[in-house]
A and B are shown apart, each in its own frame.
Chain A
Amino acid sequence: TQLLEQSPQFLSIQEGENLTVYCNSSSVFSSLQWYRQEPGEGPVLLVTVVTGGEVKKLKRLTFQFGDARKDSSLHITAAQPGDTGLYLCAAGTGTASKLTFGTGTRLQVTL
């Protein structure tokens, strides 16, 4: 069973601060996605990374896939209250498009 461990589990910061969320595994993945989920809603796909060492930027969010394709990080610059939510990483194995989801990082950004 492939496991994706996310850290930290919970993060509470003030508006304007920077933060990094990590997603780690001992397995190699063909692709990795990051999702954000707001309370009472389904997760929304933010980004997909597929190449070792790849870096993608989405406004204030920077995503990186590890060189060995076993880990990833999400960095948020100048966090805003709208960034509040549960961040989930998910990795693909190529089997029937199944994904293994991480344990989640709950982010709270206060004014």
Chain B
Amino acid sequence: SQTIHQWPATLVQPVGSPLSLECTVEGTSNPNLYWYRQAAGRGLQLLFYSVGIGQISSEVPQNLSASRPQDRQFILSSKKLLLSDSGFYLCAWSVRLGSPYNEQFFGPGTRLTVL
């Protein structure tokens, strides 16, 4: 079965510090990978998605970047955090080929607080 991991679970960082959040998927190959941010109690905002190693699409201009160094690894980064970067960050995966239904499966999330 497939599993998706995110770490850390919780992070408190000062303004201006760097950020690195990691997501890994097990039990599948060649997945599509996604990073979302969620404000408290609200819907999900897609930040980045990737259809393969080194292929990153950005959905919104912001202070963040993403990388996919390996097939099942997705990293969200920032060089200098802003207060507005606080939120709940979710990683998700979907089957790249063979599924017309766009079903996505989410990790447990990282709660980021920027002070």
A86 near B96 (CB under 8 angstroms)? no
Is B87 on the interface with A (CB-CB < 8 A)? Answer: no
B103 touching A33 by the CB < 8 A rule? yes
Which of A48, A90, A103 lies in contact with B42, CB distance below 8 A? A103
With CB as the reference atom, state the residue of chain B lying closest to A4. Answer: B43
CA separation between A18 and B85, bound complex, in Å? 38
Structural contact, A30 and B43, CB atoms closer than 8 A: no
Of B41, B46, B51, most A-chain CB atoms within 10 Å: B41
Contacts of A68 in B (CB 8 A): none
- Per-residue B-contact encoding for A95-111, CB less than 8 Å = 1, 0 else: 01111011110100000
A78 → chain B, closest Cβ, in Å? Answer: 25
Q: How many A-B residue pairs have CB under 8 A?
A: 69
Residues of A within 8 A of B103 (CB): 33, 45, 48
Closest Cβ neighbor of A89 among chain B residues:
B43
Q: Smallest CB–CB gap between B51 and chain A, Å?
A: 5
A42 touches B42 (CB 8 A): no
Indicate the size class of the contact surface on chain B.
Answer: 20 to 34
Complex Cα–Cα for A93 and B82 (A): 32
Select which of B44, B102, B109, B111 is within 8 A of A97 by beta carbon: B102
> B-facing mask of A34-51, CB < 8 A → 1, else 0?
010000111111001010
Q: Say yes or no: is A92 at the interface (Cβ < 8 Å to chain B).
A: yes
* Residues on the B chain within 8 Å of A43, using CB: 44, 90, 106
Specify which of B49, B57, B102 is in contact with A33 (CB 8 Å cutoff): B102
User: Provided the pairs A88-B43, A102-B43, A103-B43 are in contact, do residues A31 and B101 lie with their beta carbons within 8 angstroms?
Assistant: yes
Asked if B51 and A106 make an inter-chain contact with CB atoms under 8 angstroms apart, the answer reads no
- Residue A82 lies at the interface, judged by CB distance under 8 Å to chain B: no
> Are A97 and B43 touching (Cβ within 8 A)?
no
B-to-A contact residues, CB < 8 Å: 32, 41-44, 46, 49, 51, 57, 90, 92, 94-96, 99-109, 111
